[in-house]
Structure 1
Amino acid sequence: MHPARPLPPLLSLRAFEAAARRLSFSLAAQELFVTQSAVSHQIQKLEADLGVPLFERRTRAIELTPEGRAYYDKVHAAFELLRAGTREIRVHVDERATLKVGILASFATRWLAPRLHEFSAARPGIDLQLRPEIALADVSGGEVDVAIRYGRGGWPGVRSQQLMSERLSLVCVPSLLEGKRRPRKPQDLLRFPFLASYSTHSFEWEVWAHRFGLDLARVQRVQLHDYNIVVEAALAGQGIAMGRHRLIAQQLASKALVEALPDAVLDDPRIGWWLVTPKGTLGDPASAFRSWLMQTAGQEALDGTH
């Protein structure tokens, strides 16, 4: 009977799991706070130990080999168990629990922040850390515990649950629509500058334009860093913005912003705000935050609040 061979070094397994999950040596290095060459070295050691290549290395990308994919499924599951167990221990040991929430700055300031006192009062032992990022925070890898994302759901490797749908229409200050410039049909909106927040895929504009049969190829666009800046630019009369009604309810109620064409409204139940969680078991802080979010968002839907 042959003696059991020892497991590969934990450093090599951590490097492999992070690189396989992100399909990037450089992103894995950032996550592990090491150099890219260190990650590559650890994976080479692991491949030598196992006797099989785990990655196909290309000029600008890496892909898992069939053996690498099979091994990743088991290694990732093992690390998920370790992460879940660590979270459970920390919740019970720490006097206070910290919950890291990945979130867009616009949603944090315009919807979540005014309501956070309710959660803090209900769960005073949980400290929330809001991490505003334009890029999608890595929930499955533990960068954050949960995330709130804007879109149509269906992100790979995570669970997503819609908090509330979004109502979309083009908005601006009332003075922009005075006199002969007042639009009568969707095509009339194309003569105004469009204010847009940075996005790798501006699906809401595409869906809106498709719904009303418009071609936005020649529209003058002003690309801004964040949706908060889009709203401020619209309030300053710089152009027309895509109004996410959940976030600009106060400005619409006060008439600081108005719908440029009230009939050109997009109500697509797939577009909205989603709570994104890992596929593993949630700890108590994340579960409590999810329950509160779903209840708060659901009550607003019942009240018809936008």
Structure 2
Amino acid sequence: MRTILQLPSVLSLRAFEATARLLSFSLAAQELFVTQSAISHQVQKLEADLGVALFERRARAVELTVAGQAYYAKVHAAFELLRQGTREARAPMSKLTTLTVGLLASFATRWLAPRLESFHQAHPHIDLQLQPEIALADVCGGEVDVAIRYGRGRWSDVHAQRLMPERLSVVCAPAVLAGANRPREPQDILRYPLLTSHSRQPFEWDAWAHRFGVDLRNARTVQLHDYNIVVEAALAGQGIAMGRHNLISPQLASGGLVQALPDTILDEPGIGWWLVTPKAGMSKAASAFCAWLTETAREVVLARTH
């Protein structure tokens, strides 16, 4: 008789999938409504079961190992299949309309999620599914119904409406500024590691450097997978980050992050968060979400300017 392969527990797989998708034990804990230690325990249990390390653990940040990336691709696909099957099975009974939104995990967790309750109350018939990914979700091809993207709005074959501008400044933990060597001029940041997300020199660093006359060619950069990790690494004092004020306002308010050079704030009108929709039109559910999101973003911008 063939031996049946014993699968890891569903709890361990859920903890791993959420942590790998969000690249954060704390954010995974928030999503699954458990403690961070519970998530860490389940992931360690899974690693022991598989006999491989799935994550590289750093101070306040994690990254997938090569084995972890390969395993996540399969586990994530399996959970997506389960989610889709559940939606299809549930829809005829509840008459819910599913709406899929593609966006960055950092925007989902740090800006959108805390505001979603008002949308759910206004539109209980819409089953909102957030799909956080680094890669741009395919709006035209139907991978998602709408998307929220960060940048300058220069995407082809889609309709892009700016939701709100982004204020940028270099930020770090207060401890980084201690001592006589704290940065006093824009070029002084080159003494520190520059924390970046996804690409070696994201456009926001280039835009800031161009505005304030800094040559980044010899900068020491630390490339991290996601902006959530950039924020956590900055909070841990591992370098200087480009602060997206819409996402880090709680950390600035609490003093966990401070502006390294308060006089070098970049308010470039073209840089911001964009609502991306297909040119061919939208469903009623997508239109309702876009209207709610646009109004919510408008209120945030108004509150910030008053």
Alignment TM-score, normalising by the size of structure 2: 0.68
Q: 1:125 aligned to 2:153?
A: no
1:221 is aligned with what amino acid? Answer: T
Partner of 1:279: 279
Partner of 2:15: none
The CA distance in 1 between the partners of 2:281 and 2:171, in whole Å, is 41
1:195 is aligned with what amino acid? Answer: L
1:164 is aligned with what amino acid? Answer: M
2:289 is aligned with what amino acid? Answer: F
The CA distance in 1 between the partners of 2:300 and 2:197, in whole Å, is 26
The CA distance in 1 between the partners of 2:267 and 2:173, in whole Å, is 22
Partner of 1:263: 263
After superposition, where does 1:38-117 map in structure 2 within 5 Å? 95-117=95-117
**What is the Cα deviation at residue 95 of structure 1?**
1.1
The CA distance in 1 between the partners of 2:285 and 2:274, in whole Å, is 18
Q: Secondary structure at the match of 2:266?
A: strand
Q: Which runs of 4+ in 1 moved over 6 A?
A: 91-94
Partner of 1:301: 301
The CA distance in 1 between the partners of 2:227 and 2:170, in whole Å, is 14
**What is the Cα deviation at residue 154 of structure 1?**
2.4
Partner of 1:75: none
Contact kept in structure 1, 2:196 and 2:241, CA below 8 Å: yes
Partner of 1:73: none
Partner of 2:145: 145
The CA distance in 2 between the partners of 1:273 and 1:232, in whole Å, is 21
**What is the Cα deviation at residue 103 of structure 1?**
0.5
Partner of 2:175: 175
Partner of 2:52: none
The CA distance in 2 between the partners of 1:283 and 1:93, in whole Å, is 21
Partner of 2:70: none
User: Could you list the per-position Cα deviations for residues 109-130 of structure 1 after superposition, in whole angstroms to 9, with x for gaps in the alignment?
Assistant: 0000000111001100001111
User: Could you list the per-position Cα deviations for residues 84-118 of structure 1 after superposition, in whole angstroms to 9, with x for gaps in the alignment?
Assistant: xxxxxxx9998110001000000000000000111
The CA distance in 1 between the partners of 2:96 and 2:237, in whole Å, is 46
1:102 is aligned with what amino acid? Answer: G
The CA distance in 2 between the partners of 1:305 and 1:98, in whole Å, is 35
Gaps of 5+ in 1: 1-90
Q: 1:227 aligned to 2:227?
A: yes
Partner of 1:162: 162
**What is the Cα deviation at residue 189 of structure 1?**
1.1
**What is the Cα deviation at residue 182 of structure 1?**
1.4
Partner of 2:203: 203
The CA distance in 2 between the partners of 1:270 and 1:196, in whole Å, is 20
The CA distance in 1 between the partners of 2:234 and 2:201, in whole Å, is 21
- Relative to structure 1, the CA distance from residue 106 to residue 305 in structure 2 (aligned partners, 3 Å threshold; closer, same or farther) is farther
Q: Secondary structure at the match of 1:266?
A: coil
2:150 is aligned with what amino acid? Answer: Y
Q: Secondary structure at the match of 1:267?
A: coil
Q: Secondary structure at the match of 2:290?
A: helix
Aligned residues: 216
User: Could you list the per-position Cα deviations for residues 11-35 of structure 1 after superposition, in whole angstroms to 9, with x for gaps in the alignment?
Assistant: xxxxxxxxxxxxxxxxxxxxxxxxx
The CA distance in 2 between the partners of 1:134 and 1:151, in whole Å, is 13
Partner of 2:251: 251
The CA distance in 2 between the partners of 1:300 and 1:176, in whole Å, is 30
Q: Identical aligned pairs, as a percentage?
A: 66
**What is the Cα deviation at residue 280 of structure 1?**
1.2
The CA distance in 1 between the partners of 2:232 and 2:197, in whole Å, is 12
The CA distance in 1 between the partners of 2:158 and 2:187, in whole Å, is 39
**What is the Cα deviation at residue 279 of structure 1?**
0.4
Contact kept in structure 1, 2:171 and 2:240, CA below 8 Å: yes
Select between 175-184 and 289-298 the one with higher mean Cα deviation: 175-184
Contact kept in structure 1, 2:199 and 2:223, CA below 8 Å: no
Q: Secondary structure at the match of 1:179?
A: coil
**What is the Cα deviation at residue 171 of structure 1?**
0.3
The CA distance in 2 between the partners of 1:206 and 1:241, in whole Å, is 13
**What is the Cα deviation at residue 201 of structure 1?**
6.7
Q: Secondary structure at the match of 1:228?
A: helix
**What is the Cα deviation at residue 196 of structure 1?**
0.4
After superposition, where does 1:180-199 map in structure 2 within 5 Å? 180-199=180-199
- Rg bigger for which structure? 1
User: Could you list the per-position Cα deviations for residues 224-276 of structure 1 after superposition, in whole angstroms to 9, with x for gaps in the alignment?
Assistant: 00000000000000000000000000000001000000001100011000000
